[in-house]
Structure 1
Amino acid sequence: MIISYADSALSVLPPLVAITLAILTRKVLLSLGVGIVFGALLLTDFSLVSSGEYILNTASQLVWKDAALNSWNVYILGFLIVLGMITALITVSGSARAFADWAKLRIRNKRDAKLMTMFLGCVVFIDDYFNSLVVGSISRPITDRYHISRAKLAYILDSTAAPVCVISPVSSWGAYIIALIGGILTAHGFTDSGHLSVFIQMIPMNFYAIFSLLLLLCVATFSLDVGPMRQHELNALRGNLFDESKGQPPGAVTDLPEADTGKVIGLFLPIAVLVFATVYFMVSSGADVLATKDLPFNVLGAFENTDVSSSLFFGSVIGLIATLILAIQQKVDLSMLLKGMSVGARSMLPAIYILLFAWTISSVIGQLETGKYMASLATDNIPFALLPAVLFLLAGITAFSTGTSWGTFGIMLPIAADMAMGSDSTMMLPMLAAVLSGAVFGDHCSPISDTTILSSTGASCHHIDHVVTQLPYALIAALISLVGYTVLGFTGSLIAGLVCCSMLFVISVVVLHFWAKK
């Protein structure tokens, strides 16, 4: 028998224990495991036998659920393994080194390398997983050459993944959000509003996404390295790109032989094939769903109904085939290719272990109904003018606790809409935007977030090092956003909110500049 904790603060304890232990011990798997066990004990009234059965059942459902393969999880894991192979093959073929030599003539310094990575992160916006892993694979040879720490690379990847996807209508995130908002608006009688146009209207209201991107731009341009990030950057100047005392980070493909015949096309072409194949499968799978519903085809509708995980996997398989063909054309020895594929697949195992544990604790948290409890804290006793700021904070805490932005959207967006309709319907869009903004903030800070985990993997950075070094910047962008939503709530003016955010942003950058120069 599973006990419900929807109305109990106890539902917050398992994720809080896991997150606290992860930060204190820096042992992610151990911390997640403790959180899983604690959550299972709560759900089963502290019955050891029932807890063990519950954990085994929950873990098995990650692969096999409802008498069928759990295709979403399996495809994502397959995508990780295949992408690890592609990365290793690009290294073995000598293409990564050729690209680094080519870029050296065009990228003149550390700042250019960081800005290049940020640019790629903003361009590759179709999905956050795809963004973090693919851009990381492309950029890592360059950032390594210019002694940019893996922690800084992970921060750049993470801060151009969710923030870009959440304001891009043609992305897996944008399609999901438009579908949610469309249902909410229809339920409240806003049938005349175009769902896409409403989403576009909300973009300038998404303060955290906007100002976290602007902050990243300033950090990359002016080297605003503060807190733990500063130490990692200093270590990188000495040649220590990551903390070697913790072993090899996820995604590392070291000790591989490199052919002397590598060409730049050996990196660019496989990645281009991977991108185009993934986009094709995303549109194709979405179009198939539209056809079964007898709906006309359009790109946005296809993205709204796409199967992201299978598209990523099949796109990566096509990319792997292209990588192998190019490597063979470059006369790379067969034994080197086989070793590269083996090492590449194994390099993703640490990330896969963390992801499996994170998915398991997410299932436990879902059973505990932690998100519903967090949402219930938004009571009618709060002054209406403060609601955008309060919703931003609650969405942030919910995403931080549950490790999922999408789950937070699903829980908090309908609540925000109901609260707006009960008070002032003109504040509907700002309150919905505050939820989107807060969810991305919480996701950025959470060690159990899959996007955070995969950003660490894409950068080949130790996971907790990424979480700790990114946290100060996430908190600064969140504070700016919180002030903006407070001003917006009291004035009802988006312009006033943006002006206050902009002023506070400039002050923050100046303070960071002087702090970084100390």
Structure 2
Amino acid sequence: MENTIYSLIPPLLALLMVAFTRRVLLSLGTGIIVGALMLQNFDIAASGMKIFEIIRGLFITENDAGSWEVNTWNVFILLFLLLLGMMTSLIAIAGGSRAFGEWAIKKVKTRVGAQMLTIVLGIIIFIDDYFNSLAVGNVSRPLTDRHRISRAKLAYFIDSTAAPVCVISPVSSWGAYIIGLIGSILATHSVTDYGALEAFITMIPMNIYALSALLLVFATALFNINLFSMKTHEERAINEGQVLDPDKKAVPGEQSDLPESDRGKVRDLILPIIALIIGTVAAMLYTGAQATDGEVTLLKMFENTDVAKSLVYGGLFGLAVTIVLFLGKRLPGKHFGLGVWKGIQSMLPAIYILIFAWVIVAIIDEIGTGKYLAGIVDGNINLAFLPVILFLIAGVMAFATGTSWGTFGVMLPIAGEIAAATDINYLLPVLAAVLAGSVFGDHCSPISDTTILSSTGAGSNHIDHVMTQLPYAVLAAVISSVGFLILGFTQSILLSLLTSIALMVVVVLVLRNWKSVKVN
């Protein structure tokens, strides 16, 4: 069943169950069990052992020497979530979140302003999508809550600025990874007309989905565009003051029952976040420099950085600053223990979902879903259709596997091979199409770790975020598909980009008064 159409069963089953039951863990668990049974020829005992081995592999792995070592990437990501939960909880008890909300509501007087500030923060913090999702959410949440902006819309703003910005930024963990892949593709096919960095920069205006998604985010904030279920969340937030669905269970990062000091200051929130940013970026540069052989440049540092370890270092620094400020409030000692425990508790739902997502991604990888989807690509087609076809296939693959990076790793070499075997002039357009499609599929997938962390950062119910973001992602993808068709037929970057922008303007003009929520 590996590498065949049957390999689509586990991810499709999980995705359909998520859509119909809205129960993430049950849906992912079902996909995991079915996938394991398929891998082990429906041997129940062997399937159970397979799942156990995958879960064990998330935390400890056996090296070439036969000894066991910690899988630091996964462990550090989970540890960073716990650190962030503790930071958020202690900041709330110290009164920092309330003080920032009161200050911000005086300075940012409109809902549009609050949304625009969130979007700008999402663009500015382009170093890494994980960091972006969690940091922007924690800064923006007090402000958007005060302006009665639903958490679902906040999650959409976070998710739809994080990956689109990271994928077009050469100085980011994404950019460094992609440039490394491009470099190997250019070397494999003896392309010497341009280097990897030059190719990456040339491809930025060809990444039509990333640019369309960013334009749509701004338009949504400016013109109050609320598509389908997003309207329900916004109406509840505006009319009832409920930024979350009260019928849903507690969401990651939410600590509504915590005591709050009335002596809180804005700096009690701002300084820990600044410390978190400075600590993380400094750690990324340090770990990147340590892992770089030969000349150390900024690009090489980001290419070789250990993102997960850097997040933990930054989180520890941010937590240390938070504790210092917390102790300065002279609050009862039990409040500190309460803050730490509640912070850990608040992140457990996100951790459970993330672990389940990692397990099903491992199952999907072993059963060959990605290889099957990649194998659908056939070079015997009109070359003009290549960009849009690869955009859509990369989107399906990222949606089914829940990983844009994994899709990059599989699809970029395939796209390069097709272009080299047909017309090398199509190399950059098809590579850009794969990048764009991977982000699109990632945006739509409930098993994507970026999607999970965006809902965590926003304090939104995960499935609410997935279902409300989906129409916006599909809309941007439809516009992008037209742009990639024009790019394929004309090879004109300017014409494809201008057409996509013009289409976006037309769509926004149509939607600005449709499905909107009146704001008094």
The question of 1:461 aligning with 2:457 is answered: no
3-state SS of paired residue (1:516) = coil
For residues 260 and 241 of structure 1, the distance between their equivalents in structure 2, rounded to whole angstroms, comes to 23
CA distance in structure 2 between the partners assigned to 1:473 and 1:315 by the alignment: 33
Partner of 2:33: 37
Matching of residue 83 in structure 1 with residue 79 in structure 2:
no
**Matched residue of 1:68: which SS?**
strand
Q: Separation in 2 of the partners of 1:493 and 1:401?
A: 31
SS in 2 for 1:46: coil
How many Å separate the matches in 1 of 2:461 and 2:270? 27
Range moving further from structure 2, 327-336 or 132-141: 327-336
1:449 — aligned with what? 448
> Deviation of residue 74 (structure 1)?
0.2
Q: How do residues 21-420 of structure 1 correspond to structure 2 at under 5 angstroms?
A: 21-66=17-62, 67-237=68-238, 238-290=240-292, 293=293, 295-420=294-419
Q: Please name the residue that 2:430 is paired with.
A: 431
Q: Give the Å deviation of 1:197.
A: 1.7
Distance 2:470 2:36 in 1: 29
Tell me, yes or no, if the aligned pair for 1:261 and 1:331 is still in contact at 8 Å: no
**3-state DSSP class of the match of 2:20?**
helix
Rounded to whole Å, the distance in 2 between the matches of 1:430 and 1:384 is 11
Q: Deviations over 1:290-339 (max 9, x none)?
A: 1xx3x111111011001100100111011100100011123233221221
CA–CA distance in structure 2, aligned partners of residues 452 and 466 of structure 1:
8
> Could you tell me whether the CA contact under 8 Å between 2:94 and 2:268 is conserved in 1?
yes
Shift of 1:514: 3.1
Give the Cα–Cα distance (whole angstroms) in 1 for the partners of residues 371 and 383 of structure 2: 21
1:454-496 deviation per Cα after TM superposition (whole angstroms, max 9, x unaligned): 1010111111110000011000100000000011111111112
SS state at 1:173 partner = helix
Question: 2:516 & 2:35 partners in 1: Cα distance?
Answer: 45
Distance 1:413 1:109 in 2: 43
Which secondary structure does the structure 1 equivalent of 2:471 belong to? helix
Output the CA distance in 2 between the equivalents of 1:5 and 1:411.
Answer: 16
TM superposition score normalised by structure 2: 0.97
Q: Does the aligned pair in 2 maintain the 1:476–1:508 contact within 8 Å?
A: no
Q: How far off its partner does 1:198 sit?
A: 1.4
RMSD between aligned residues: 1.0
1:326-366 residue CA offsets vs partner (Å, 9 max, x unmatched) = 11123233221221111011100000000000000000001
Counterpart-to-counterpart distance in 1, 2:491 and 2:198: 20
Tell me if the contact between 1:127 and 1:173 (Cα under 8 Å) persists in the aligned partners. yes
Structure 1 moving runs of 4+ over 4 Å: none
Task: Give the residue type in structure 2 aligned to 1:401.
Answer: A
Rounded Cα–Cα distance in structure 2 between residues aligned with 1:330 and 1:119: 32
1:15 aligned to which of 11, 17, 21: 11
* Structure 2 letter corresponding to 1:403: G
Paired with 1:49 and 1:338, the residues of 2 have a C-alpha distance of: 42
Could you say what secondary structure the match of 1:58 adopts? helix
Alpha-carbon offset, residue 381 of structure 1: 2.9
Q: Which residue of 2 aligns with 1:509?
A: 508
**Are the counterparts in 1 of residues 227 and 516 from structure 2 also a CA contact under 8 Å?**
no
Report SS of the residue matched to 2:334.
helix
Letter in 1 for 2:250: Q
What are the superposed Cα offsets for residues 203-229 of structure 1, whole Å, 9 maximum, x if unpaired?
000000001000000001110112000
CA 1:277–1:458: 2 relative to 1, 3 Å: same
Matches of 1:508 and 1:10 in 2, distance apart?
Answer: 38
Instruction: Call closer, same or farther: CA 1:72–1:517 in 2, change over 3 Å.
Output: closer
Q: CA–CA distance in 2 between the matches of 1:313 and 1:221?
A: 36
* Alpha-carbon separation, structure 1, partners of 2:327 and 2:57: 40
Deviation, structure 1 residue 193: 2.1
Partners in 1 of 2:504 and 2:102 — Cα distance?
Answer: 37
Aligned residue for 1:408, secondary structure, equals: helix
What is the alpha-carbon distance in structure 2 between the residues aligned to residue 226 and residue 474 of structure 1? 11
For residue 381 of structure 1, give the secondary structure of its aligned residue in structure 2: coil
Deviation at 1:82, TM superposition (A): 0.3
- Specify the SS of the correspondent of 1:65: strand
How many residue pairs are counted as aligned between the two chains? 511
| CA contact 1:283–1:302 (8 Å) conserved in 2 | yes
Gaps of 5+ in 2: 63-67
- The secondary structure found in structure 2 opposite 1:161 is helix
The DSSP-based 3-state class of the residue aligned with 2:92 is: helix
Structure 1: distance between partners of 2:424 and 2:333: 65
Displacement of 1:150 in angstroms is 0.5
Give the equivalent residue in structure 2 for 1:5.
2
Distance across 2 between alignment mates of 1:322 and 1:300 = 29
5+ residue gaps, structure 1: none
